[in-house]
Amino acid sequence: MLPCCLSKGRFSHKLEFPETTSVSQGLKIIGLADAVEGRINVTVNNGQMFRCVLRRSPASSLANDCITAMAEGLSSNFYSHFLSLLWKDGDLAYLSEADSSVPSEWDSFCSIMMEICGSSATSKKISSPMPQSSWEFLIHSKFHNNYCKHNLITQNSSVMSLDVQRLDSSWLNSDGTQRPERTFYYELLMESLHCLHAVYENLKLNSLRKRDLELLGFLSCYIAKFLGEESYVDHYIRDFPGLSGSVGICDTSISQENPPSLFRWLENCLLHGYNSANINDLPPLICKDGSSVVSWARKIVSFYSLLSGAKHIGKKLSSGVYCNIATGSYDTNEELTVLAMVGEKFGLQQLDSLPSGVSLPLRHALGKCRESPPIGWPAAAYVLLGREDLALSYLARSCKSKELETQTNVNLISMSAPYMLHLHPVTIPSAVSDTIGFDNTKFEDADSADGSMTDGMEHIFNSSTQLRYGRDLRLNEVRRLLCSARPVAIQTSVNPSASDQDLQQAQLWHLAQRTTALPFGRGAFTLATIYTLLTEAFVVPKLVLAGRLPAQQNATVNLDPNVRNIQEIKSWPEFNNAVAAGLRLAPLQGKMSRMWIIYNKPEEPNAIHAGLILALGLHGYLRVLTITDIYQYLYQEHEITTVGMMLGLAASYRGTMQPAISKCLYVHIPARNPPSFEVELQTLVQSAGLMSVGLLYEGSAHPQTMQILMTEIGRRSAGDNVLEREGYAVSAGFALGLVALGRGEDALGFMDTMVDKLFHYIGGKEVHNDRSNSSKLSADEHNRAAAQMMDGTAVNVDATAPGATIALALMFLKTESQEIVSKLSIPHTRFELQYVRPDFIMLRVIARSLIMWSRVHPSQDWIQSQIPDIVKNGVNCLGDDTDDIDEMDAEAFVQAYVNIVAGACISLGLRFAGTKNGNAQELLYNYAVYFLNEIKPVSATSGTFPRGLSHYVDRGTLEICLHLIVLSLSVVMAGSGHLQTFKLLRFLRNRNSADGHVNYGVQMAVSLAIGFLFLGGGTQTFSTSNSSVAALLITLYPRLPTGPNDNRCHLQAFRHLYVLATEARWIQTVDVDTGLPVYAPLEVTIRETEHYAETSFCEVTPCLLPERAILKAIRICGPRYWPQVIDLVPEDKPWWTPGDKNSPFNSGVLYIKRKVGACSYIDDPIGCQSLLSRAMHKVFGLTSLKARDSCSTGDNGPGSVTVDQLVATFSSDPSLIAFAQLCCDPSWKSRSDIDFQEFCLQVLFECVSKDRPALLQVYLSLYTAIGSMARQLSSDSVVLCDSLAISNLKLALAYNEALLSGRLTSSRGGNVQSNFIACLRKQVEELLNYSQDLKDDFCNYVHSGRWPNGESQGDKRQLLLSWYVQWFGVPSPSVIKVAVEKVKPKLMSSSLVPLLHLLFPRTHINAIAEIDKLFSS
């Protein structure tokens, strides 16, 4: 508004500008500036500046809706005239003032409409003194003086004061026709009435704006009466009978136009479909595109249309209205309706604003789609259905950016507010209380002096792992077995022949072998289980080799440095310990900080930082290092650091063939450097370089690299140790196999020559013409061959055979090449058994199995098929005295047998790695127990195994084979924590040197096996992809070290490459309401393979899933949680990495929603508490509440349970808990309260047991509507004078009839019980009992359109008549008269009922019979 000094008319006295009171009227505006929303600075010609507020829209929502409707519905010339009246000359102060009140704005709008009526009723040619404003006209009217006394609708004087008596029909001619000069105002009023009626019908669908509906009904009724629209007047009086006294009925009927009625259209749409619903029952403004004022009604009409089968073409439906439909697949009308609700942003809050009867079909659509909604819907659609679990899962997969996430969250809030703001009861669930009560932060032992040391495993206990293993102490036992950060207990014995100190030192030395091997298992156990802060230093747990004497108050005993070189045995164990500590770091969402790595770099190189470098490389973090950083590390020429850096770089850049990294690696292979480049490198560094080259070029089949690695297999290393030469050749063989991994003969054309060379290195008889092949070598190759391990043409197969065998196995991995397998034959004659080393036979069995991948079966028959008949017969005849078997032959048979069996078990471990295959587990376990009994009988074994092997083979070989089998068993059961396997591993770990040949190698195998069994705390497992199988084979290479520093045959650093084979296929279910991990039954479906058909099996989350290559679907099953299905396409790809946007599992988290009425599996493992009906009937006696009133209430003691506490056990929905507290209070004593309380308890049970908490509002609304109607008739005064509840009840009946007739279908039945709806109908009909007063009133109404007067009991009779005509669908009197006049001349009988029933199909037959009586009498 403008300041008063700038306006022509009068403005509010509150706006005073003392400094401008003397300003003349000639003041002019010369400038506008600083506009902010509706505020602007106005500069006038005298230099003054005023801050002005422009009212863009009224504060009154009703006035704003009416003005908007006029803007959208009136033609342009009419609306221009209306605006000139609305804002004329600044006289309408109430619409101009910035601080005007809401009632005054509505009064101002009413005065405008009255002025239009006054202009119609008064001749423009006759000048009459008029008030200066509409408000003055209004307050001087006679009607205003008596308004408060005679108004029957409300006692609030804010309703407009209309002098009905002053306004006549002077604009009509004597014959009732319009005068031509009044046509303009008549048409303006008619269009205005249509616009206001559209707003009126729109407000009837919003239960929160009943007051606005009442005010608008009064104004519309007056305008309709003024225009002579009898049907409109009757329509408004039926809704508000009090209007018959305050406005009156229409004396002269000019038009028989039937007013649109949304409730009538909605009812017909439910009963007969949208095609049968009369389009004239829809206000034209609703069908207009872009109309905002009646968008509420337009949305409801569009939802009903879609639910009834309407089709949509673009944005327009076949029912004639417009609708925005969200994107998504649908198969049913209900699903399309839900998408339309999402597209129109019609959420739960809007649904509760509808009258209960109107909302029932929409709630029906939501309920039908709730159980199994289509995949790919927007998150808002799932929230609308009450499936927040699906919504969160969708958000986790679809939100690509923060901006999109913010927009989606805003949409979710609009769809669900305030229902997603759950108010959980302040209780601690049992899962949390168990976790809190179970102190996992400290690791204590009965003999431990300090139980709070840092052992690198203190973080392993969390809600997920605790849920995985329940209340057992498995993780605690694993932590105890793998702890290397505290002194180990030494059991002293009495031996007079030796001093106690010598015994202690000897025992401590044996225990140190075990302690130094523990980091291998700890690294696997804690793999990727913590998230470090990049501002913290890297902490490595101590590696303590000391012991303690429990008998002497835990006195510490250290290794004597004079007897043992402690530092010599600690360098590589410290390295492995640091690797284990570094492997704890979980994969980060972003990159590892380069500065953090540099920050942790020590001034002097050491094994600890070298281990960290390797761990970071295995996780792929070394990509952040620059070439300069790499050079700084390699320049130090620290042996262990160089090994860790090369392997870490190769793992980070695996398969990329990065040239810069390749140069760094090739520098450490002297054979590839020019002769002038003299660098002395130890063999283990060269071996690490070869393995790193293989990782870098993995799967590339790079020809030059393959040629180089092929040459290195047969090259003599710098050292003279044969074992070092073997280790170097094995590294070259692994590298060659990695480069050509699984490529077989399709790699390049020179593969035939390469295969022949490899068989030459193996020493196979299949290769001929060695000399001719040698003569074809070039001069350069002759020079290089001079350094190869040959004596003439003979190759030192002891050094080259293992590497060549491994190379062939990896090159032809899963290729099913019969040619290669036939050449890699297992000895089947006595001569061959003497010719081939037994451990090489094991490698051949492994190689053959890897090549013939699909033929490996977890059965005893398959293992037996790998054993040649000569070996099988020889072993079986060991105890038979009749067979004359040479001692040497017997030893050869047994050596071959144990190695073949061990190789077959390793093959099974690789073939079924991470699958938890039951047959493979049972088979490997039986063989492990069999070998253990052969060493020292400990238990009975099942199956027919040869006995007495220990007489022909040394114990060390049996120990190695036993531990290789156990290691393979743990690979199969990786991450499962299998209890039987764990017990076996614990037994093997606790054996001392007296129980068997226990050295560092077998202890390392046991440690790794324990770590594999609990890989990543149970959250990781192994894959069987080509790359994973190669990494596992490197880890499981069957040559175990003899001591902590033994790197001759196989580098200990290679044993950590299993990390490259791991996959986080862990999945846990999280309750979307509580945010806590919970148990849930999961049905897993795997695809059909060549060995088995499509299979489904059940798991309980948290669990590990099968590989992506076979996983087809997972489904949340069971009665306690809402079903959820995730369909997948089996692909031969690695598992999704953490943070992958395409992952369907949200980094291992699957959100689920518990059904109301069911407890979680933690609180109720066997389901006895989920019987909600039994619990509620038992505790509260639903069937005998009235009887309890006379009984003593002695059950309110400390042990009693209240309704809200019971409900809180089964549901966290705040509405249910609040309802139980407010409406189910057992302390109520009055009879009426008990009746209502019993109804509330029954409704609460209904909503909880069927998981429909939203129906509480519907049940209460319908119940209280009937109760209110009954109280209105029984009381002396009428409080609520309207019949809106009747229309609402009729719509509820129509919904029930649509269900019974099959127009609406549901597998779970209707939202509201049919018998409850039937009871409502019966009670309404009892209230509308056709009494004599009602008969007289109905007779007067039908004949003359008169309503009962306002005398004694007049209000009640008016109300009862309005209910009657609404309930039975009686047409308006004018329509009845016209129909009767048309029917009577054609009447063939004395009754009008048949014909009237055809004319008025919506009218009840009883009402038609009464009309027949009235007109027949």
Q: State how far the Cα of 559 lies from the Cα of 562, in Å rounded to an integer.
A: 9
Which structure tokens are listed for 1111?
């996983």
* Torsion sign (Cα): 653, 657, 658, 662: positive
Which structure tokens are listed for 471?
């209340």
Q: Is 395 helix (H, G, I), strand (E, B) or coil?
A: helix
Q: State how far the Cα of 768 lies from the Cα of 1197, in Å rounded to an integer.
A: 97
| pLDDT for position 5 | 44
| pLDDT for position 294 | 92
Residue at 964: amino acid letter: L
- Other beta carbons within 10 Å of 69: 25
- DSSP annotation of 749 reads T
Beta strands (DSSP E) in 379-512 are: 488-489
Residue at 153: amino acid letter: I
Residue 31 has phi, psi (to 5 degrees) of -165, 150
Q: Is 556 helix (H, G, I), strand (E, B) or coil?
A: strand
Cα dihedral 737, 743, 745, 748 in deg (nearest 10): -90
| pLDDT for position 1273 | 82
- Could you tell me which residues come within 8 angstroms of residue 671 by beta carbon, excluding any fewer than 6 positions away? 711, 712, 715, 784, 787
Report which of 653, 594, 643 is spatially closest to residue 618, judged by C-alpha positions. Answer: 653
Distances (CA, A) of 1175 to 88, 450, 1160: 70, 49, 16
- Could you tell me which residues come within 8 angstroms of residue 891 by beta carbon, excluding any fewer than 6 positions away? 952, 953
Q: Is 172 helix (H, G, I), strand (E, B) or coil?
A: strand
Q: Which residues pair with 1080 in a beta bridge?
A: 1101
HEC sequence for 857-912: CCCHHHHHHCCCHHHHHHHHCCCCCCCCCCHHHHHHHHHHHHHHHHHHHHHHHHHC
Q: State how far the Cα of 1262 lies from the Cα of 357, in Å rounded to an integer.
A: 8
**pLDDT digits 0-9 by tens, 63-107:** 999 999 999 999 888 888 888 887 764 444 444 444 456 677 888
Cα dihedral 1274, 1276, 1281, 1286 in deg (nearest 10): 10
Residue at 109: amino acid letter: F
Residue 57 has phi, psi (to 5 degrees) of -150, 150
Report which of 462, 486, 532, 538 is spatially closest to residue 1017, judged by C-alpha positions. Answer: 462
Residue at 645: amino acid letter: M
Kind and range of the H or E run holding 1115: strand 1111-1116
Task: Write out residues in the chain with pLDDT < 50, as ranges.
Answer: 1-24, 89-99, 122-131, 148-181, 400-407, 417-452, 495-496, 766-793, 1171, 1173, 1179, 1182-1198
Q: Is 265 helix (H, G, I), strand (E, B) or coil?
A: helix
Which structure tokens are listed for 1171?
């019987």
Q: State how far the Cα of 630 lies from the Cα of 662, in Å rounded to an integer.
A: 12
Q: Are 106 and 62 in contact (CB under 8 A)?
A: yes
| pLDDT for position 1198 | 47
Q: Is 924 helix (H, G, I), strand (E, B) or coil?
A: helix
| pLDDT for position 1331 | 78
Q: State how far the Cα of 1028 lies from the Cα of 1038, in Å rounded to an integer.
A: 17
Q: Is 253 helix (H, G, I), strand (E, B) or coil?
A: coil
- DSSP annotation of 33 reads E
**pLDDT digits 0-9 by tens, 1-46:** 444 444 443 333 333 444 444 444 578 888 889 888 778 899 998 8
| pLDDT for position 28 | 85
Q: Is 179 helix (H, G, I), strand (E, B) or coil?
A: coil
Across the beta sheet with 49-53, the strand order is 29-36, 39-44, 49-53
- Other beta carbons within 10 Å of 838: 20
The alpha carbon of residue 597 and the mean position of all alpha carbons in its chain are separated, in whole angstroms, by: 35
| pLDDT for position 426 | 31
Kind and range of the H or E run holding 984: helix 979-990
Which structure tokens are listed for 1061?
């084979």
| pLDDT for position 1201 | 64
Q: State how far the Cα of 249 lies from the Cα of 221, in Å rounded to an integer.
A: 9
Q: State how far the Cα of 1315 lies from the Cα of 1324, in Å rounded to an integer.
A: 14
| pLDDT for position 463 | 77
The residue whose two tokens read 């010369």 is 30
Q: State how far the Cα of 327 lies from the Cα of 125, in Å rounded to an integer.
A: 61
* Torsion sign (Cα): 1154, 1158, 1163, 1167: negative
- Other beta carbons within 10 Å of 55: 15
1043, burial (CB in 10 Å: exposed 0-12, middle 13-18, buried 19+): middle
* Torsion sign (Cα): 1067, 1069, 1075, 1079: negative
Please state whether beta strands 1149-1152 and 790-791 pair in parallel, antiparallel, or not at all (unpaired): unpaired
- Could you tell me which residues come within 8 angstroms of residue 391 by beta carbon, excluding any fewer than 6 positions away? 379, 380, 382, 383, 412
Which structure tokens are listed for 235?
């329509």
Q: State how far the Cα of 1293 lies from the Cα of 1368, in Å rounded to an integer.
A: 13
Q: State how far the Cα of 489 lies from the Cα of 480, in Å rounded to an integer.
A: 12
